[in-house]
Amino acid sequence: MIEVSKKCIGCNKCVPVCPFAAINMVDKKAVMNEACTLCGVCVQVCPVQAITITREEASARDLSGYKGVWVYVELTETGDQPQARKIKQVTFELLGAGRKLADELGEDLCAVLLTDKNHNYDKELGAYGADKVYMVEHDELFEYNTDIFSTVIVSLVTRHTPSVMLYGATIQGRDLAPRVASTLYVGLTADCTALAIKDGLLLQSRPAFGGNIMADILAPKSRPQMSTVRPNVMKMNEPVHGRTALVVRESAKLDKSLRRVKVLERRISHDGGGVKIENAHIIVSGGRGMKSREKFRQLEELSKLLGGVVGASRAAVDLGFKEKAHQVGQSGTTVSPKLYLSFGISGAVQHIVGMKASDVIIAVNKDASAPIFNVAKYGIVGDAHEIVPKLIEALKK
């Protein structure tokens, strides 16, 4: 329920920012009409705190009308040319996981796409399993912005009442999802590694305490049940070309004034064509123990011989051995290649959480008690500087 108190001074600030044109000024007082979705933008701009939103108490909510498994579509820059964007792989993984949930619930799997221009994205989303694509095309959606994107998502959710909504546990997903959950007063579980249906509810499994324990989480009282899901964990389905999704176009009235945080400069390290450590099958990674940028170059040669890419620990990046785009770990990229071959990485917790899902880990380190050996399948206690050149030599033969 939304109320405007006597404090309202009729300043008119809320009228232009309402995405749904749901506010009128009547006798110098704001009055909401039925287009209101309780998105809360007006509450944020009101200079005198005259607008309050009271959400129904959880137990009083009727949840039976909430249907549909939604997946937030994350777009990422292709790196080839400015402004060109493509669908991030985690979206397809979410469609794979969401397909199973939707089938078990007997509900539709829907992708939610916010973009300035549709480049056949809907076709791809259909091929990967979406039944429906809710699409909002608007110039203001040319780049991700927390205020703008959360406003649109909140309005779509309020209008179409899904039962489940999934986001990638990426930098963007972990910025957007909590903002939406907070606005809607619904449950959100971070960084899930498994999803299932238990008695009609979404059972969300996630690691906590740096991976030392696992927790299963439910959100029984509110809808949608929302999760961010760790990339590279869920299996994506093989795309079925020609399988199409029903496109539902949605409008949103968006204004520049909603954009409270402005981007002054954006730097993406492309590294000559773009490193993609997150999708690599083989990663050869180095840490502080590689000692110098020059020695680190040997790992590049080695990774090329193996058909892989180079990764780096945070320490190696901070010391300038390798660019940030190669960083594996909590503040870098989470990876799960088939082979992770590490040299001179001791294995700080922040690094381990970013690579321990790899199929086979071979770790080389001088110190036999290095924590990286706790997650490795094979551990070699030895000097990387002696081993790497010999390995390159042998592989060249």
Partner 1 sequence: MNIVVCVKQVPDSTEVKINPETGHLIRAGVPSIINPYDHFALQAALELKKKHDFKVTLVSMGPPQAKSVVQLGMALGADEGILLSDMAFAGSDTWSTSYALARAIRKLGKIDLVLAGMQAIDGDTAQTGPGVAQQLGMPQVTFCEHVDVDGRRIIARKLIDGGYEIVEARPPVLLTMIMHKDYVPRYPSFLAVNASLKKPFHVWSAADIGAEPQFLGLKGSPTQVDKIYPPPQREKAAMFTGSGQEGMAKILQIMKAEHFIEE
Q: Show contacts with partner 1 in window 231-260 (CB under 8 A).
A: 260
Does 363 bind partner 1 (CB under 8 A)? Our answer is: yes
Cβ-contact 115, 143 below 8 angstroms = no
Please work out, in degrees rounded to the nearest 5, the angle formed at the alpha carbon of residue 282 by the alpha carbons of 85 and 91. 30
Does 370 bind partner 1 (CB under 8 A)? Our answer is: no
| Phi, then psi, of 177 in degrees rounded to 5 | -60, -45
Nearest CB to partner 1, comparing residues 137 and 323: 323
How far apart are alpha carbons 233 and 90 in whole angstroms? 9
On the 0-12 / 13-18 / 19+ scale of CB atoms within 10 A, 9 is middle
Please report how close the Cβ of residue 236 comes to partner 1 at its closest, in angstroms: 19
Please report how close the Cβ of residue 177 comes to partner 1 at its closest, in angstroms: 8
Please report how close the Cβ of residue 247 comes to partner 1 at its closest, in angstroms: 26
Does 161 bind partner 1 (CB under 8 A)? Our answer is: no
Q: Show contacts with partner 1 in window 71-100 (CB under 8 A).
A: 76-77, 79, 88
Does 48 bind partner 1 (CB under 8 A)? Our answer is: no
Does 394 bind partner 1 (CB under 8 A)? Our answer is: yes
DSSP 99-140: HHHHHHHT--EEEEEEESS-SSHHHHHHHTT-SEEEEEE-GG
Residues 6+ apart with CB under 8 A from 153: 72, 112, 114, 176, 180
Question: Which stretches of 128-196 are DSSP H helices?
Answer: 146-160, 173-184
Please report how close the Cβ of residue 103 comes to partner 1 at its closest, in angstroms: 22
Which span sits near partner 1 by CB under 8 A: 4-12, 114-122, 186-194, 236-244? 186-194
Which span sits near partner 1 by CB under 8 A: 129-137, 155-163, 242-250, 384-392? 384-392
How far apart are alpha carbons 279 and 241 in whole angstroms? 22
Nearest CB to partner 1, comparing residues 15 and 203: 203
Q: Show contacts with partner 1 in window 98-137 (CB under 8 A).
A: none
Structure letter (DSSP) for residue 59: G
Does 213 bind partner 1 (CB under 8 A)? Our answer is: yes
Does 146 bind partner 1 (CB under 8 A)? Our answer is: yes
Which span sits near partner 1 by CB under 8 A: 16-24, 92-100, 144-152, 243-251? 144-152
**Among 11, 155, 168, 32, residue whose Cα is nearest residue 90:** 168
Among 38, 229, 283, 375, binds partner 1 (CB under 8 A): 375
**Among 286, 166, 308, 160, residue whose Cα is nearest residue 227:** 166
